[in-house]
Amino acid sequence: MPREVEFIADGGDEGRLDAVLAARAGISRAHAARLIAAGAVRADGRPAPKSLRVRPGMRILAVVPDEPGPPQAEEIPLRVVHEDDALLVVAKPAGLVVHPAPGHRSGTLVNALLARSGLPAGGASDRPGIVHRLDAGTSGLMIVAKSEDAHAALVRAMARRRITRVYLALAEGVIEPDTMTIDAPIGRSTRQRKKMAVVAGGREAITRIMVMQRLAEATFVEARPETGRTHQIRVHLAASGHAVVGDDVYGRDRQLADRLDLKRPFLHATRLVFAHPVTGETIDLSEPLPSELERALAVARASGGGMMEP
């Protein structure tokens, strides 16, 4: 059963909120960070970020559910695009959550991976092997490590922007420039804690956009995120006035999504290029659009628009 943890910080509580809450509530720091991200922790009556520096006199209130146990293996169909002794690359379908979280304790990609031979390894115990994530509604390629060393090397490569990730998206409206770079910091929305937004003081976020085809009501684009912020492509395109079609969180034109029979955001991780963490060999993998996105794109094209001149 959830319990309330409430205290007024004293001189021994100074530090980041996630660390202070973990010590006070007797939970792991990762669990504390998840509670804060879910908006279950308030400082002086207001939702607080995990990076908040706790000062003496602050009143902290948290609703703390029991810490979940380790994820369990589940027989869930999963298509593997590449596999060797160090890693595998999977084609995640839309609708599959990557790892267990509040509200999704089972039926995730991690549960599926744990049912395979060559178990994932490295990183947090509730998300073993996960190097980067895709939103539940996003399909496409994901790297999973099979050893601690491979995980550490791949996470370093991601942080150093040495892993190329290419997405295909259908954006609302017509994007005029052929290419654009969206360089805008992303953080949690100050108005809706479950959403991300472009905010002053947010973490650096850079996305490069290239127009593939302009259509009557939308633009088919390639997106290359240089950083890995939560919902980055979705937030950046929405901030530019061209949200991903079918995005119920950040989108503006639900009628367009309905006309295209889209039940999910039109966002697909189509290509990964990276150096193998053990051999150094270049791994270059591609995954075509899934059938429901191909159909939606065909309908959008039928309503007008033509390919750009090369």
Confidence category of residue 246, pLDDT binned at 50, 70, 90: very high
pLDDT above 80 (res 67): no
Bridge pairing between strands 79-83 and 59-64: unpaired
C-alpha distances in Å from residue 120, one per residue of 21, 52, 282? 30, 33, 21
Where b means 16+ CB within 10 Å and e means fewer, 180-208 reads bebebbbbbeeeebebbbbeeebeebbbb
Per-residue confidence (pLDDT) for residue 102, from 0 to 100: 60
Going by the DSSP 8-state scheme, the letter that residue 246 receives in this structure is T
Going by the DSSP 8-state scheme, the letter that residue 12 receives in this structure is G
Residues ≥6 apart with Cβ < 8 Å to 134: 92, 98, 140, 142, 269
Confirm if 222 and 167 have CB atoms less than 8 A apart. yes
Where are the alpha helices (H) located in 120-218, listed in sequence order?
148-159
C-alpha distances in Å from residue 137, one per residue of 60, 115, 236? 34, 23, 17
Query: Which residues are bridge partners to 211 per DSSP?
Result: 221
**Do the two domains 79-159 and 164-307 of this chain adopt the same fold?**
yes
Where are the alpha helices (H) located in 160-207, listed in sequence order?
none
Q: Which of 135, 248, 253, 284 is catalytic?
A: 135
CATH number of 3-64: 3.10.290.10
Element (H, E) at 59: strand 59-64
3-state secondary structure of 222: strand
Domain ranges of the chain: 3-64, 79-159, 164-307
How far apart are alpha carbons 301 and 299 in whole angstroms?
5
Work out the number of other CB atoms within 10 angstroms of the CB of residue 101.
16
Q: What is the pLDDT of residues 274-289, one digit of tens each?
A: 999 999 999 999 999 9
Residues ≥6 apart with Cβ < 8 Å to 76: 96, 107, 109, 111, 112, 115
Q: Report pTM.
A: 0.79
Two structure tokens written together for 153 = 């090397």
Residue 151 Rama label (left phi>0; alpha psi -120 to 50; beta): alpha
Confirm if 10 and 19 have CB atoms less than 8 A apart. no
**Token match 């409430």: residue?**
6
Q: Out of 17-31, 43-57, 58-72, 284-298, pick the least confident.
A: 58-72
Per-residue confidence (pLDDT) for residue 309, from 0 to 100: 40
CATH superfamily of 164-307: Pseudouridine synthase (3.30.2350.10)
CATH number of 79-159: 3.30.2350.10
Residues making up the chain, counted from first to last: 310
How far apart are alpha carbons 77 and 279 in whole angstroms?
29
pLDDT above 70 (res 308): no
Helix 29-37 and helix 17-25: axis angle, to 10°?
120
The answer to whether residue 135 is catalytic is yes
Q: What is the pLDDT of residues 205-242, one digit of tens each?
A: 999 999 999 999 999 999 999 999 999 999 999 999 99
